[in-house]
Structure 1
Amino acid sequence: MKWWAILLLILTALLQIRLWSNDGGIAELRQLETKVAEQKQANEMLRRRNADLRKQVDALRSSEAAIEQYARQHLEMIKPGETFYRFTPPRNSR
């Protein structure tokens, strides 16, 4: 009977060592939980960005005004007869 108790004590000690060690133990579990939380946050940011892009695409597909606004802002296009002025900040003279 004593040897069973000793064997169970040794087995319990080995399991505790495995549980608290870095390799597959609680510390690794905490690291993985942190990584999962960070990835969920990154995924949420990407979902919001995708939703914004989807709205922009829908607007461009359905509205000529949206197309004109996009062309003016991002492609610096102008209508015939308009004059385009670009203002740049002055260079610092030394």
Structure 2
Amino acid sequence: MTTSRNRYIHDIVYEILTVLHRNGEMRKTALCLSANLPMDRCTSVLKLLESYGLICETPDKRVKLYRICERGYMYLGLYVKLRETLPYLKQGRR
């Protein structure tokens, strides 16, 4: 029997932004794999993050690359402080 852990949207956003911060510009496929998200869900989250100005799409000659924007770095800092302040957030969903 496997136990699945559903992630909150804030955890998913944090994971995507952390991956982009660590790796720089990335293709959508590599980003989805690194953030452990299925492609269809990742696409909708990336559109949401782009609309909020947390990530930017930099069109290359052949592929679209995603990178973290200034607001994304602000989100990361605030989220880390929130997790330090509220320790039950570290445990995830029960």
TM-score normalized by structure 1? 0.23
Point out the structure with the larger strand share: 2
Give the TM-score, by structure 2 length: 0.23
**Between Structure 1 and Structure 2, whose CA radius of gyration is higher?**
1
- Structure showing greater relative contact order (alpha-carbon pairs closer than 8 Å, 6 or more residues apart): 2
